[in-house]
């Protein structure tokens, strides 16, 4: 797959912006994410909206936004911007440059806005600053896809799945990141909700790209 083309929205500049944004998604998985978003947003019954749960600084959001822009669609990305468990002080992925001096807490909102500004996606990507559970309570319409890449505790992953998987339209997609069947490779909660989706009978696996799983809603 070509990294850039006149139609896929992934300019060299956007790839540079995504590369420089703090985050944890490898390029091959990000490109697969873009391809999946493009596929579902371009279907005849598309509703023109995709949702991302877990924004961080917007690395993966660039790829989703590029797909949406190319099809006149929107991406809503949901995050409280205080970081997940692994981003807190004393944990492996804590980044002191993202700590707000006023509150003393992690705050990734400004870095996310910078990423969207630099990528030219401020009119395509709508940032919803809220916990996933709170945002799910006020959501009210079907979407073409939901991409779950939020907190990796079992409680957080379960809340994301319970709150958002039901909004995927029939024929749409549930995308889950950091799915590791072997527990030696990574945490289990994303794998657990992936299994729940398959066992529910509502979703069937369409493809796998590294730790990214693409599930199509069948009923």
Q: CATH number of the domain that 22 lies in?
A: 3.40.50.150
Q: Which two tokens stand for residue 20?
A: 């420089």
**169 to 18, 47, 50: CA distances (angstroms):** 28, 9, 11
Q: Note the pLDDT of residue 179.
A: 97
To the nearest whole number, what is the mean pLDDT of the chain? 92
In a domain, 39, yes or no: yes
Confidence of residue 1 (pLDDT cuts 50, 70, 90): very low
Question: Quick check: 79 pLDDT over 70?
Answer: yes
Domain that holds residue 102: 12-217
Between residues 83 and 46, which one has the greater pLDDT? 46
φ and ψ of 170, to 5 deg? -60, 130
Q: Note the pLDDT of residue 105.
A: 72
* Catalytic residue list contains 152: yes
Q: Which of 81, 87, 152, 177 is catalytic?
A: 152
In a domain, 3, yes or no: no
DSSP for residue 87: G
User: How many domains would you assign to the chain?
Assistant: 1
The span from the CA of 16 to the CA of 164, in Å, is: 31
| Mean pLDDT value across residues 120-128 | 98
What spatial distance separates the first Cα and last Cα of the chain, rounded to whole Å? Answer: 31
Q: Note the pLDDT of residue 187.
A: 83
In a domain, 139, yes or no: yes
């Amino acid at each position: 797959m070509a990294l850039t083309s006149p139609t896929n929205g992934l300019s060299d500049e956007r790839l540079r912006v995504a590369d420089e944004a703090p985050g944890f998604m490898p390029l091959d998985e990000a490109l697969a994410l873009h391809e999946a978003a493009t596929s579902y947003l371009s279907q005849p019954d598309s509703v023109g909206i995709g949702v991302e749960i877990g924004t961080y600084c917007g690395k993966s959001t660039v790829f989703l936004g590029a797909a949406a822009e190319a099809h006149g669609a929107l991406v809503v990305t949901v995050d409280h911007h205080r970081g997940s468990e692994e981003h807190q002080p004393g944990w492996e992925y804590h980044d002191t440059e993202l700590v707000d001096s006023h509150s003393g807490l992690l705050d990734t909102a400004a870095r996310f806005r910078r990423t969207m500004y630099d990528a030219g996606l401020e009119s395509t990507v709508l940032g919803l600053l809220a916990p996933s559970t709170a945002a799910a309570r006020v959501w009210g319409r079907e979407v073409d896809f939901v991409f779950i890449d939020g907190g990796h505790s079992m409680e957080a992953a379960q809340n994301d799945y319970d709150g958002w998987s039901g909004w995927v339209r029939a024929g749409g997609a549930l995308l889950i990141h950091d799915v590791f069947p072997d527990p030696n490779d990574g945490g289990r909660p994303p794998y657990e909700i992936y299994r729940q989706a398959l066992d529910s009978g509502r979703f069937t696996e369409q493809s796998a790209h590294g730790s990214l799983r693409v599930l199509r809603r069948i009923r």
